[in-house]
Chain A
Amino acid sequence: MSITSSTASLPQRDSIRGAPPAGERAFSIAFSAVLGLGIFVALGGLAAILIWAVSAGLPRLDWGLFTNAPSTARIETAGFRTAIFGSLYVIAGVIVLIIPIGLGTALYLEEFSDRTSRFARLVDLNIQNLAGVPAIVFGILGLAFIVRGPVGIGFVAAAGSLTLALLVLPTIIVSSREAIRGVPRSLKEGALALGATPWKAVWTQVVPYAAPGVLTGAILSVARAFGEAAPLLLVGAVTFVTFNPRFWSDGYSVLPVMIYQYATRPQASFRLLAFAGVLVMLVLVLFMNSFAIWLRNRYERPLQ
């Protein structure tokens, strides 16, 4: 009885027509709006920087910017050549250091250590904490231990590489661990069941599968290292280097430091040079990332 009457009072009950209740719709709309806002802020910020840098630096953008050495006397033809060399040396060193060390640490922690052991947990905790240490602290560390102190290699590009490698290692370790964790266990088990040693199983199954993720972490880490100025100021990236540096000897400079130096000078033509320097950095970062992404896509499970 009561059932019939309640159905009668809700004649639309059996129909599947009509929209969901207004409250749910409002929530969906609000949710989409928040997502849209997020995308707008992220992309809008990036676009603003690009437009600003391009419009301010474009008048000065030419090949001389890449091929000429810095100069305070001939502002019109001054370039960034030595800083580009410095940056490329430093970054090359960073890449060579962080990929094997970062991947190795991540593989050890994910595949070979007993994750419940005290040691593994201590390492884990420290990596998380290191990721939050300010860059300048790594600069001081580099000055005390790499430039002077036990390593004592002086103010050279290699010292910059080592310092920046320490700075970005936590990032690449964490992202590599994520990538390794994403490898299906069944692959490693399958390899082990065929009599592969644990090392062989990891190297032939886990590493190739995780490679794209590891490379993504490396791209992010290297991009960050490329833009760092603060720690390098402490380990010898001096402002004006008018000769091409070498890796193991001589002073060196890097692009962000160079840009900072030009930007703080009072003359307008130096500021213009600083904006052009930003463009140089953008071009180089774009090149490096394109190469890294091309490399990653080549690895990206070509057989799937």
Chain B
Amino acid sequence: MNADPTPEHALPDAAAAPTVGSSMPGGSGSSETASTGFDLSTALGGARADDEERARAEVVFEADRLSVFYGDFQAVRDVSMQIHAKEITAFIGPSGCGKTTLLRSFNRMNDLIASARVEGGLRYHGEDVYGEGVSPVIVRRKIGMVFQKPNPFPKSIYDNVAYGPRVLKWKKSDLDDVVEESLTRAALWDEVKDRLDQSALGMSGGQQQRLCIARAIATKPDVLLMDEPCSALDPIATLRIEDLMRELKDEYSIVIVTHNMQQAARVSDYTAFLTVDIDDESGQRTGELVEMDRTDRIFTNASDPRTEAYVSGRFG
């Protein structure tokens, strides 16, 4: 039950993808697209991006009609976007719109689900993340991740931070420095420096999440993916994490999924708004990118009426 024998109906019009699928061919449930001869600029043009501005920074991720499937179910359809270095990019959208699925496809965490499958292109600094000969293990060493629920290992604070460096077989003599530096970067050092050998599970939720961030940056990845990192935290802990993200921005490219629009507005430079398209016949809920733009524009002057409706609280 692994191979999915859906016939390939080529969607003729690339521009039709971002404008929601009332015109989608229903029934067969397959809206797979052959991505041959696709021009990326066409899709990005639809997102009203200012080319000059978009060109100012190095592109970290480039998704090219990226779709994610779980078995026969399509969770994300034809997402095309660029994510730039040393920016905070936020994914917002209603529940079930595939934000998390999209995020987890960036560091191949979806590989853990046997039925998960990706179509379309995803390039990381120009290299195909899902290309042949690419190991998800190596991908994840470059692209760190922080999860929704803080998940410290049932070990000491020190061992949590040292886990990544130990996996990479860094020199033992450097570990103390790495741990201190990472915890300092995560604004946690002063709170825990006297109890590094104590269990990480004895910390508060906010501290645990900062520990998870320290753990993720200990191996100096290039990108930090954050999946609703504050949803389990109180407002003060949330603000601390947000401060931390702003500080980390000068070294890391950060992609954050959030349910909290204020959070996206507060911390992110760019925002992608995704929505969910419910198939009339099958009832399948598939996520789609509506638009991606500078955060201030998304929140004050969105080009798509659905974005405006969502950010002003009229829908979702």
A interface residues (Cβ-Cβ under 8 A, vs B): 114-116, 184, 186-187, 189-198, 200, 204-205, 208-209, 301, 303-304
Contacts and interface: CB of A to CB of B under 8 A. Distances in A.
A197 to B, nearest CB: 5
B154 A301 contact: yes
Given A194-B216, A304-B154, A189 B112 contact: yes
Give 3 closest A-B pairs by Cβ, nearest first.
A195-B141, A303-B199, A186-B151
Contacts of B168: 195
A208 B154 CA distance: 10
B155 A194 contact: no
Interface of B: 1-2, 107, 109, 112, 114, 137-138, 140-141, 144-145, 147, 149, 151-156, 163-164, 167-168, 198-201, 212, 215-216, 219
Given A187-B154, A189-B151, 12 more contacts: A186-B147, A190-B152, A190-B215, A192-B140, A193-B107, A193-B140, A193-B145, A194-B141, A194-B167, A204-B163, A205-B153, A303-B198
Given A116-B1, A187-B151, A196 B167 contact: yes
Contacts of B140: 192-195
Contact of A114 (B107, B114, B199): B114
A209 B154 CA distance: 8
A192 B151 CA distance: 12
21 contacts: A114-B2, A116-B114, A184-B151, A187-B151, A189-B109, A190-B147, A190-B153, A190-B215, A191-B163, A191-B167, A193-B144, A193-B145, A193-B216, A194-B140, A194-B164, A195-B138, A195-B140, A197-B137, A303-B155, A303-B198, A304-B201
Contacts of A204: 163
B278 to A, nearest CB: 28
A170 B140 CA distance: 36
Most buried by B among A190, A200, A304: A190
Given A303-B156, A304-B201, A194 B219 contact: yes
A116 B152 CA distance: 30
Contacts of B1: 116
A279 to B, nearest CB: 41
A200 B151 contact: no
Given A191-B153, A194-B215, A197-B137, A303 B201 contact: yes
Contact of A303 (B141, B154, B164, B167): B154
A194 B137 contact: no
B137 A196 contact: yes
A199 to B, nearest CB: 10
Contacts of A192: 109, 112, 137, 140
A189 B163 CA distance: 13
B110 to A, nearest CB: 11
A212 to B, nearest CB: 12
Nearest to B225: A193
B1 to A, nearest CB: 6
A193 B109 contact: yes
A190 B141 contact: no
A6 to B, nearest CB: 43
Nearest to B159: A303
Contact of A186 (B107, B137, B144, B149): B149
Contacts of B212: 190
Contacts of B145: 193
Given A186-B147, A303-B201, A304-B199, A195 B153 contact: no
Contacts of B138: 195
Nearest to B160: A190
A196 B2 CA distance: 26
Nearest to A114: B114
Contacts of A190: 147, 151-153, 212, 215
Contacts of A304: 154, 199, 201
Contacts of A195: 137-138, 140-141, 164, 167-168, 219
A209 B140 CA distance: 23
B307 to A, nearest CB: 30
Contacts of A191: 153, 163, 167
A115 B163 CA distance: 29
A189 B136 CA distance: 13
Nearest to A193: B145
Contacts of A189: 109, 112, 147, 151
Nearest to A301: B154
A297 to B, nearest CB: 15
A204 B107 CA distance: 21
A115 B155 CA distance: 30
A301 B153 CA distance: 11
A70 to B, nearest CB: 50
A303 B215 CA distance: 18
Contacts of B141: 194-195
A240 B313 CA distance: 86
